[in-house]
Amino acid sequence: MNQQAGKFSRLGFVLSATGAAVGLGNIWKFPYITGVYGGGAFVMVYLVTILLIGASLLIAEMLIGKRGQKDCVSSFEELAPPDRKGWKYAGFMLFTGLVIMTFYSVVIGWIFYYMYLAIAGLPTTIESAKGTFDALYAHAPFLQIFFHLISVLFVAYVLLGGIKKGIEKTNLILIPFLLFILLGLLVYALNFDGFAKAVSFMFAPDFSKLSAEAIIRAVGHSFFTLSIGIGSILTYAAALPKHSNIYKAGLMVAFMDTLIALIAGLVIFSFLFQFGGTPDKGPGLVFVSLPVIFAKLGTLGQGIAFIFFVAMAVAGLTSAISLVEPAVMYLEDRLGWVRKKAVLWSSLLYFLIGVFVIFSISDGFKAPFTFGTKSLFDVLEFAVDSFLMPLGGFLIAIFVGYVLKREVVESELLGHMGNTVFKIWYFSIRFIAPLAVLFLAYNALKV
């Protein structure tokens, strides 16, 4: 463990892990896939998956980090029995974080641009909003690179401070701030007639709308939203003090993540139903439909839009930090680099690939970065969603369920969980989670 980096406080850890979990996945993706897949029934599957599989895996990943006390690769190596040290290669799941960042940071950049638009003037019709988004997405690569760079620099700056002065401090400030904004928006939306419609859209399940594809998306998203399977949570947990209760911390993080996704969904759908929009607009929901609604509300709307995009940027940035830290910690602890050098090279790497990702969606630049019909952006996102993250989740489940001795696992959890909960959790890790992941990977490859 790196001495300078220090240890988290209990609250610092829970808020930082919440910061990792709560991201664009909650505020951008969850509402739009809920809209696309028809609401209530989809939300129900999502909630059950979080409870049965997501939370269990989250706790399992925390366990590896907390017991290992080292970077992702070394923690696996340390805990594996002497004849199975090859498990250290599982630790290379940490590179997935950099892969995710090549597009995640680009999307954070779009949000910065929309913060600017909120002040400068929002589009007032759906047509012009589509045009505005398209002008950014497909026709302004250098503007995107500029905003992507700002996000890279912010994340690098926080990472330079290490666990205590960088990551913990940032999350201690930003996560309560984010909650405050979202609760404020929720209270505002409570006054709308649209609020009741939003509640019934999200919570009254209509199972006839539930397709197999919807189930796959719900399971996949539950991994993504809890930040499972790439060593982020593991790396944070490696900086936990000895006697921390990872059961309680894990539940807390899963709860906060779910709560924030639901609040974001309620806020967005209340605005939509109140001011006449439909929920099934896909990825453009927050970049196309919402701005038009905000624009209708005049100056007040501009203010709300600005606050909303600030919240989204905060959610994204605190996640981004957790996506890069595993690589930084690895370079530092395992290869003995100083933190500055580790931050510099990891940031540079995903920044540059991010530039190619931007070119891959920009008219006039995309040709070299297009594979068949898919842009580099699509290819990377697909690889992460359907292969890299499920693989990471699978390895974590197998490692904790079968490779680690039961006594080790028990010593970390039994006292906190009690017998019955422990049994359910252990069963989930050994059987339900690996099967769910295989199901996910199998289905993803079919499409």
53 exposure class (CB count in 10 Å sphere: 0-12, 13-18, 19+): buried
Q: Say how far apart CA 111 and CA 128 lie, in whole Å.
A: 18
Q: Which residues contact 257 (CB under 8 A, 6 or more apart)?
A: 18, 21, 22, 26, 50, 225, 226
Using the structure block, give the residue that is written with the tokens 């406080």.
Answer: 9
Q: Is 170 in the site for ligand TRP (CB under 6 A)?
A: no
132-161: contacts with ligand TRP (CB under 6 A):
none
96 exposure class (CB count in 10 Å sphere: 0-12, 13-18, 19+): buried
Report in angstroms how near the CB of residue 217 gets to ligand TRP at its nearest. 14
160: nearest Cα among 32, 337, 378, 8: 337
- 351, 334 contact by CB (below 8 A): no
Q: Say how far apart CA 118 and CA 234 lie, in whole Å.
A: 37
Q: Is 57 in the site for ligand TRP (CB under 6 A)?
A: no
* Pattern 25-44, ligand TRP, x by CB under 6 A: xx------------------
Q: Is 225 in the site for ligand TRP (CB under 6 A)?
A: yes
Give the nearer residue to ligand TRP in terms of CB position, either 29 or 129: 29
* Pattern 179-218, ligand TRP, x by CB under 6 A: ----------------------------------------
Q: What token pair was written down for 194?
A: 């649209």
Count of residues near ligand TRP by CB under 6 A: 15
Q: Is 244 in the site for ligand TRP (CB under 6 A)?
A: no
Report in angstroms how near the CB of residue 271 gets to ligand TRP at its nearest. 21
Q: Kindly tell me which residue out of 20, 234, 305, 327 binds ligand TRP, with binding defined by CB under 6 A.
A: 20
Stretch that binds ligand TRP, among 49-57, 173-181, 221-229, 411-419 (CB under 6 A): 221-229
Report in angstroms how near the CB of residue 317 gets to ligand TRP at its nearest. 11
Stretch that binds ligand TRP, among 48-56, 133-141, 226-234, 237-245 (CB under 6 A): 226-234
Q: Say how far apart CA 68 and CA 239 lie, in whole Å.
A: 10
Give the nearer residue to ligand TRP in terms of CB position, either 49 or 232: 232
Q: Say how far apart CA 388 and CA 391 lie, in whole Å.
A: 5
- 365, 359 contact by CB (below 8 A): yes
Q: What's the Cα-to-Cα distance from 281 to each of 38, 113, 214, rounded to whole Å?
A: 11, 21, 16
Q: Kindly tell me which residue out of 15, 24, 254, 268 binds ligand TRP, with binding defined by CB under 6 A.
A: 24
Q: Is 224 in the site for ligand TRP (CB under 6 A)?
A: yes
- 111, 316 contact by CB (below 8 A): yes
* Pattern 351-390, ligand TRP, x by CB under 6 A: --------------------------------------x-
Q: Is 13 in the site for ligand TRP (CB under 6 A)?
A: no
Provide the β-strand partners of residue 374. Answer: 371
Q: Kindly tell me which residue out of 60, 218, 246, 323 binds ligand TRP, with binding defined by CB under 6 A.
A: 323
Stretch that binds ligand TRP, among 21-29, 60-68, 282-290, 415-423 (CB under 6 A): 21-29
Residue ranges in 209-245 assigned as alpha helix (H) = 212-225, 232-237
Residues that bind ligand TRP (CB under 6 A): 20-21, 23-26, 224-225, 227, 230, 232, 319, 322-323, 389
